[in-house]
Amino acid sequence: MANGRGGDSHGKDVTVGPHKGSDGWAVSRQGNDRASRVTETKKEAVEIGRDYAKQENSELIIKGQDGKIQSKDSHGHDPKKSKG
């Protein structure tokens, strides 16, 4: 079970997506009601989100302007690797 403390556990997933109420981009941590950061550009939001995800050993989820998931990037909690 993930508890965000050491070992193989991971922290809160991080999402980058359009910020509601502005033309900016929001960086949000799972479980938070408000954005951790709001930036002017998607590029800047992704860089910040990637840093957060690395710190948390969690997954970075990147959404497009339409709110649909464009990509996911795991930082520390990859599923067990299969043989092959």
Q: What is the mean pLDDT of residues 56-82?
A: 85
Domain boundaries, the chain: 14-74
- Contact between residue 58 and residue 11 where contact means Cβ atoms under 8 Å apart: yes
Could you read off the pLDDT of 61-72 as tens digits, one per residue? 999 999 999 999
Evaluate if residue 18 carries a pLDDT over 80. Answer: yes
Q: Is 45 exposed, middle or buried (0-12, 13-18, 19+ CB in 10 A)?
A: buried
d(CA 12, CA 3): 9
Token digits of residue 40: 């002017």
Residue 46 near residue 62 (C-beta atoms within 8 A): yes
Alpha carbon of residue 30 to chain centroid? 8
